[in-house]
A and B are shown apart, each in its own frame.
Chain A
Amino acid sequence: MVEHLIGGFVPLMQWNSILAIVGGSVVGYLVGALPGLSATMGIALCLPFTFYLTPLPSLLFLTSLYGAAEYGGSITAVTLNIPGETAATPTTFDGYPLTQQGFPAKALGMSIVASFYAGIVSTIALILTAVPLAGMALSFGPPEYFALGLFGLTAVAALAGKSWVKGAIGVLFGLLINTIGIDDISGTSRYIFVNALYEGLPLVPILIGLFAISEVLMTMEALTQNVAFNRISGSLPTLKEYLRCHRAMVRGTLIGYLVGIIPGAGKAVASFIAYNEEKRASRHPELFGTGILEGVAAPEAANNSVVSGALVPLLTLGIPGSAAAAVLIGAFTIQGLQPGPLLFVKQPELVYGLFAGLLAGNVVMLAMGLMGTQLWAMVLRVPKSILTPIVLAVTLFACYAESNSLFSLWLALGFGILGYVMRKFGFPIAPVVLAMVLGKMIETSFRKSLILSDGSAMIFLERPVTIILLAVALLSIAFQVYRSRKKRTGPTRVV
């Protein structure tokens, strides 16, 4: 295996491979930083161009793009409170408060280092464990997905902010609008009034509306006051701060890698779970949401770790671990390759070339990210009255690019107003996104499970993975209740 890997670095020395990695990283960085243009869409948009490349550079280009986009998503999450990718939503919770305190470069520095760390460690894990862990991807049937979805929903506890009730309302609202579209199980249409809703509400315009447009509206309201950030410091995290976050990075990487392997669970689920777990494991959970670096490190490590995790079932079984990996399958097919059990046997040089490329891609991403932190910190010195309209225009443009339809722009505007109203009345937005990410999975896997069991709910209590996940979800809820009770009986903290 070692000689295979060393062999894998050989084709990387060619100019076209290097160009592919650097090019992919640059494009991915921009795609990630553009709210509304998802990593998946970035890969899909670039896919046709790889038609003219040979297999290895084509795959190197797209996987570098994928990884860099996952990091790029955190840039606007930190600087503007607008997640560039769904998976960067949890990054806003602590990243943006850091910016408000004048330390955007600290948050961005933490994010790039966590992304790099996760990228390298998870790629090594991919190289060592892809074949043995392939079975894990298969161990997830409908009951397991249902349990995983419920477990994911318990992350709302970490997102809900001050009011449990308002957080729960957000989740229920997200689950409710998730029912729009063709019902996958019965084939009947639910709440479809226009053609564009056949496949349900698209997540990207809603994310843009709830975060970006509502943020713009909030800013406009405050424009009469002095809203430029006063003191923006360009200082990166200190070594001590990096070391303090090491455990968060390890946990984030592990969660991201495992969730990545499970096909269809998705990177957003991984970073939400990672944030939630980090808050729970922390000795000072009350500080989460006020701008602490662990809150940036964990989700950012998780969403980059998903990239390698998603390649485990893709390369070994031909099953994509994430939506973006599903588009990567297209890249293989265009090249006349088939990812799957025969790939390691037929094309080992391609597989190991790809592994080597992933490692190299992370180094390129780190270099670009570190150079960029100062630049982004500088962007924040632009007065908001100038920055805000630009953000609005660019975001709407990206939103249109994602769907090619005007409908999604109206959707974004509508949800922008909704997001504004929600913020005004103190409803947290993130639970809506969480519910939309998980809703379909929870509903369809629940119903599929019941078809499999002829209607008996015992199917959820017969399978070990399901039992463990459900138990963890239950514990997670119990823990929150316990903690909030303890807090209530303890001395009142001044916030």
Chain B
Amino acid sequence: MKSRKNRGKIVLTALAVIALAAGYSFGVTPAEAADKFPAKPVTILNSSPAGSPADVMARQIAQNAKKHLSQPMVVVNKTGGSGGVMFASLMADPADGYTISTITSALITGLHGDLKKDFSIDQFEFLVHVQKEPFCIVVRSDSPFKTLNELIDHAKKNPRIKMGGQATYSALHLLALAVAEESGMPMSYVPYGGGSEIITNLLGGHIPVTVSSPTTMNQYVASGKVRALVVSGEKRLPQWKDVPTLKELGYNIVITQYRGFGAKKGLPADVRATLVEAIRKAMEEPGFKDYLAKNSQFAEFMGPAEFTAAVRADYEYMGKLLQKVVKK
């Protein structure tokens, strides 16, 4: 008897749950549009794997934006295809602000390459610029080269110097090519698989010079294993006050990488404003500042207008550089 009664209860509860769920999905969803954004979690697509610099940045923003957005932000990694997989996924969803993505300079520069067939910079809108970082040229600390000019002099007298860095046609490759061309030193570029491989080959003495990013090199410089010769930003880095910029040395080369957020073009104005405001506030949270300090990263907020201009300028610049150094 008792068990039958219980079963009745279970059935009733189940029916109630179904009714509620149905009510939710039929009754609430159409009203959602009228509701204030966001009515459901916001997905942040990220083209690099979990734990990569852009991924960690996105997760930190998501974590610190909790207080400032009524719904959580969820990071989803869509890796592969040099960003193509993520782009395709972003373009498949409506431009309603519920799917946004991390944007990095490498991704946008990639639109000059094979991805051009399927995607264009005009399909995106750019929301917030979060971080900016230059690149650097480094040698092992027991290297005879103390400055970039010593390296160039040597390279001119003893051709050809080998420079290591990331994939062919990546920003690092373009930087190496630009420096080689402006200084007139003959150079061969060795494209390594990633930051770790660059370090292994540099520390192991398999390559005399590498181009890399300060994030990768910070701890090796701090522990005295690696010497930075030059950075490629507008200004010197606070943690490397004695390392000059390429500009200071007389080369007209400024290449930086940025990380921020973007979306499929056509967000409603109020949705855009809500997202930008939430990310801006997240960037001011102590938790986010703590993450920046621990990783020697620097944040610089830019809103949609300013960030779009910056992305476009960088895209054009890299395009010209590609044509100049690669296509001949």
Residues on A lying within 8 angstroms of B by beta carbon are 44-45, 47-48, 51, 137-142, 182, 184-187, 189, 192, 195-199, 202, 263-264, 313, 317-320, 326-327, 329-331, 333-334, 336, 338, 340-342, 403-405, 444, 448, 451-452, 454
Q: A198-B84, A263-B196, A405-B80 are in contact. Are A185 and B191 (CB under 8 A)?
A: yes
The docked-state distance in angstroms from the alpha carbon of A51 to that of B206 is 36
Q: A47-B50, A184-B191 are in contact. Are A326 and B168 (CB under 8 A)?
A: no
* Of the residues B50, B115, B169, B206, contact of A48 by C-beta under 8 Å: B50
State A448–B167 Cα separation when bound (angstroms): 12
- Give 13 CB contacts A-B under 8 Å: A44-B77, A185-B191, A195-B84, A264-B196, A329-B196, A333-B56, A334-B56, A336-B290, A338-B218, A451-B188, A451-B190, A452-B190, A452-B206
Are the C-beta atoms of A320 and B85 separated by less than 8 Å?
Answer: no
Residue of B nearest to A198 (CB): B81
Contact of A317 among B51, B59, B199 (CB under 8 A): B199
Does B200 contact A319, Cβ atoms closer than 8 Å?
A: yes
* A196 adjacent to B81 (CB under 8 Å): yes
Query: Which one of B35-43, B147-155, B220-228, B312-320 is at the A interface?
Result: B220-228
Does B291 make an interface contact (CB < 8 A)?
yes
Residues of B within 8 A of A313 (CB): 200
A141 partner, pick from B113, B199, B206, beta carbons under 8 A: B206
Interface residues of B, Cβ cutoff 8 Å to A = 49-53, 55-56, 59, 63, 75, 77-78, 80-82, 84-85, 88, 113-115, 118, 160, 162, 167-169, 188-193, 196-197, 199-201, 203-207, 218-220, 222-223, 225, 290-291, 294-295
Residues of A with C-beta under 8 A to B291: 336
Cβ contacts under 8 Å, B77 to chain A: 44
Contact A182 B188, beta carbon cutoff 8 Å = no
- Selected contact of A140 from candidates B52, B84, B192, B204, CB within 8 Å: B204
Complex interface: chain B residues within 8 A of A45 (CB): 50
Residues on the A chain within 8 Å of B113, using CB: 187
Contact check, A330 vs B162: say whether CB atoms are below 8 A apart: no
B74 nearest in chain A by CB position = A48
A225 to B50, CA, bound (A): 47
Q: Judging by beta carbons under 8 Å apart, are B168 and A340 in contact?
A: no
> Given A137-B200, A184-B191, A189-B114, does the pair A195, B88 have CB atoms closer than 8 Å?
yes
B197 touches A263 (CB 8 A): yes
Question: When the two chains form their complex, are residues B50 and A327 in contact, meaning their CB atoms are under 8 A apart?
Answer: yes
Closest to A189 in B: B114
Residues of chain A within 8 A (CB-CB) of B56 are 330, 333-334
Smallest CB–CB gap between B99 and chain A, Å?
Answer: 14
Is A333 a contact of B295 with CB atoms below 8 Å? yes
Which residues of A are found within 8 Å of B82, using beta-carbon distances?
182, 198-199
How far, in Å, is A51 (CB) from chain B's closest CB? 6
Q: Point out the residues of chain A lying under 8 angstroms from B53, CB to CB.
A: 333
Say yes or no: B168 contacts A184, CB within 8 Å. yes
CA distance A338 to B204 in the complex (A): 20
Chain A nearest CB, measured from B194 CB (Å): 8
Q: Which of B50, B80, B115, B196 contacts A199 (CB 8 A)?
A: B80
Nearest CB of A to B259, in Å? 14
What residue of chain B has the Cβ atom nearest to residue A453's Cβ?
B162
Name the CB-closest residue of B to A46. B50
Give A471 Cβ to nearest chain B Cβ, in Å. Answer: 21
- Does B223 contact A341, Cβ atoms closer than 8 Å? yes
Cα separation A404 to B43 with both chains bound (whole Å): 15
Q: Establish whether residues B49 and A330, one from each chain, have CB atoms under 8 Å apart when the complex forms.
A: yes
Beta-carbon nearest neighbor of B216 in chain A: A318
Contacting residues, chain B, for A454 (C-beta < 8 A)? 160, 188
Interfacial chain B residues near A405, Cβ < 8 Å: 80, 85
Tell me the minimal C-beta distance from A48 to chain B in angstroms: 6
State how many angstroms separate the Cβ of B152 from the closest Cβ of chain A.
19
Q: Is the beta-carbon distance between B81 and A195 smaller than 8 angstroms?
A: yes
Q: Do the beta carbons of B188 and A196 come within 8 Å of each other?
A: no
What's the A-B contact tally at a CB cutoff of 8 Å? 141
B52 proximity list for chain A (CB < 8 A): 330
Central interface residue in B52, B196, B205, B291, by most chain A CB within 10 Å = B196
Please, which residue of chain B has its CB at the minimum distance from the CB of A182?
B82
Contact of A138 (CB < 8 Å), options: B115, B167, B200: B200
Closest-CB distance, B25 to chain A (whole angstroms): 25
Q: Separation in Å of the A325 CB from the closest CB of chain B?
A: 9
Residues of A within 8 A of B196 (CB): 263-264, 318-320, 326, 329
Q: How far is the CA of A137 from the CA of B204 in the complex (A)?
A: 8
Partner of B197, one of A186, A264, A451: A264
Tell me whether A333 and B84 are in contact in the complex, defined as CB-CB below 8 angstroms, given that A263-B200, A341-B225 are known contacts. Answer: no
10 closest Cβ contacts across the A-B interface? A330-B51, A141-B206, A187-B168, A138-B204, A336-B294, A198-B81, A195-B84, A47-B50, A341-B223, A187-B169
B293 CB to closest chain A CB (Å) equals: 9
Q: By the criterion CB–CB under 8 Å, are A196 and B168 in contact?
A: no
CA distance A142 to B291 in the complex (A): 35
* Besides the known contacts A189-B114, A199-B80, A404-B78, 10 further A-B residue pairs in the complex with CB atoms under 8 A apart: A141-B206, A318-B219, A319-B200, A320-B196, A327-B50, A329-B51, A334-B56, A405-B80, A405-B85, A448-B192
Distance in angstroms from A92 CB to nearest chain B CB is 28
- Return chain A residues, CB-CB under 8 Å to B200: 137-138, 140, 263, 313, 317, 319
- With CB as the reference atom, state the residue of chain B lying closest to A200: B80
How many angstroms from the CA of A341 to the CA of B222 in the assembled complex? 10
CA distance A274 to B53 in the complex (A): 36
Query: CA of A187 to CA of B170 in the docked complex: distance in angstroms?
Result: 9
Query: Contacts of B190 on A, CB cut-off 8 Å?
Result: 142, 448, 451-452
For the complex, give the distance between the alpha carbons of A448 and B200 in Å: 14
Contact between B204 and A186, CB atoms less than 8 A apart? no
A403–B281 Cα distance when bound, in Å, is 33
CB distance from A219 to the nearest CB of B (A): 32
Residue of A nearest to B117 (CB): A195
Complex-state Cα separation, A313 to B77, whole angstroms: 26
Give chain B residues whose Cβ lies under 8 Å from the Cβ of A333.
51, 53, 56, 295
In whole angstroms, how far apart are the Cα atoms of A334 and B63 in the complex?
Answer: 12
Assess A341 versus B49: contact at CB under 8 Å? Given A44-B77, A138-B204, A195-B84.
Answer: no
The docked-state distance in angstroms from the alpha carbon of A327 to that of B115 is 26
The answer to whether A317 and B203 touch across the interface, beta carbons within 8 angstroms, is: yes
Q: Which residue of chain B lies nearest to A448 when distances are taken between CB atoms in the complex?
A: B190
Contact status of A264 and B81, CB under 8 A, knowing A51-B59, A187-B168 = no
A198 and B110 alpha carbons, distance in the complex (Å):
12
Residue of A nearest to B194 (CB): A326
Q: Which residues of B sit under 8 angstroms from A44, Cβ to Cβ?
A: 49-51, 77
Q: In whole angstroms, what is the CA distance A260 to B78 when docked? A: 28
Q: How many whole Å from A454's CB to the nearest CB in chain B?
A: 7
Distance of A130 Cα from B84 Cα, bound (Å): 39
Q: Which residues of A contact B75 (CB under 8 A)?
A: 48
